Amino acid sequence: MRFSCAVIATVAVLCSCNAPDQESNNSDVKSRIVTLAPNLTELVFAAGAGDRLVGVSAYSDYPPDAQDLPIVSDAFTVDHEQLILLKPDLLLAWQSGTPAHVIDELRAAGFQVEAIATRGLDDVPTALETIGHLTGNDDTARAAAHQFRESLQRLRSEHENNAEISVFYQITARPLYTINREHFIAEIISLCGGRNIFADLSELAPSVSVEAVIDRDPEVLLAASDSGEMPFGDWQRWQSLAANRYGNHFIVGSAEIGRATPRLVTAAKQVCDALKTARENRELAGG
């Protein structure tokens, strides 16, 4: 049973979970797992427990092996009949992505549900370690978590002395949505020496006006590759906008930046490369 509702991972993000300290070589290790969000599917594979998955959410398309698994949920609903047939001993929910009432209903039905949190960059390795403990794959999960942390730290070190450049990250053009400082994409922008022009807003993924963007005059326009054929077409009417004067329009891979998983390292490299080019363009334009 396949659902049509997409999970927009740049809007729905998670808070952190702490991994247990003890080793996972006990009777609590789970062997039949279902994930209720695509990022959780990817995290399970990254933690070395892909062979424990018996069901996944819609749009679980990475790694390719995930596409062969039964689909049991979309962003809002779960197929309880399918779950009963699959007999999972653990459901992994997306804490701020899976609706709270869905989690409550699953627990009331007798399923064990663990909420995995990935709101910020630091939560990704913690999530890997949590999954590793739950599945008895501590060593693989810790190695993946260590690699993620080390890769991001190298990028921070490489770009910590970069000249600041202002960035508008556009989730969608119509309506116009962006991110505040708490979003993991904003963390990536900051890591690369960028300044998110809407960092001060209270909502995680707020709607903003065209006038507000023009008033804050970003030097860079940044969007994901799934945000439309011409994501910055509307901005061409304002040639005085700094990003237009410098020619700083950049697209990053949606597959890498759209989900809080280890692939955010690849996304961070793309963003850092884009901002490096943006600074060069600014200098050439005399900015």
| One pLDDT digit (tens) per residue for the chain, 287 residues | 333 333 334 444 333 333 333 344 455 899 999 999 999 999 999 999 999 999 999 999 999 999 999 999 988 899 999 999 999 999 999 988 899 999 999 999 999 999 999 889 999 999 999 999 999 999 999 999 999 999 999 999 999 999 999 999 999 999 999 999 999 999 999 999 999 999 999 999 999 999 999 999 999 999 999 887 889 999 999 999 999 999 999 999 999 999 999 999 999 999 999 999 999 999 999 88
Counted residue by residue, the chain has a size of: 287
For the chain, list the domains and their CATH numbers: 33-153 (3.40.50.1980), 162-284 (3.40.50.1980)
d(CA 33, CA 42): 13
Residue (of 56, 262, 52, 54) closest to 137 by Cα position? 52
d(CA 250, CA 223): 7
Q: What is the 3-state secondary structure (H, E, C) of the chain?
A: CCCCCCCCCCCCCCCCCCCCCCCCCCCCCCCCEEECCHHHHHHHHHCCCHHHEEEEECCCCCCHHHHHCCEEECCCCECHHHHHHHCCCEEEEECCCCCHHHHHHHHHCCCCEEEECCCCCCHHHHHHHHHHHHHCCHHHHHHHHHHHHHHHHHHHHHHCCCCCEEEEEECECCCCECCCCCCHHHHHHHHCCEEECCCCCCCCCCECCHHHHHHHCCCEEEEECCCCCCCCHHHHHCCCCHHHHHCCEEEECHHHHCCCCCCHHHHHHHHHHHHHHHHHHHHHCCC
CA distances from 38 to 93, 270, 282 (A): 10, 22, 38
pTM for the predicted model, two decimal places? 0.87
- Answer yes or no: are the C-beta atoms of 259 and 249 closer than 8 Å: no
What digits encode the pLDDT tens for the residues 82-116? 999 999 999 999 988 899 999 999 999 999 999 99
* Beta bridge mates, 284: none
What is the maximum span of the chain, computed from C-alpha positions, in angstroms?
65
Angle between helices 138-159 and 123-135 (to 10 degrees): 170
Residue (of 5, 16, 66) closest to 39 by Cα position? 66
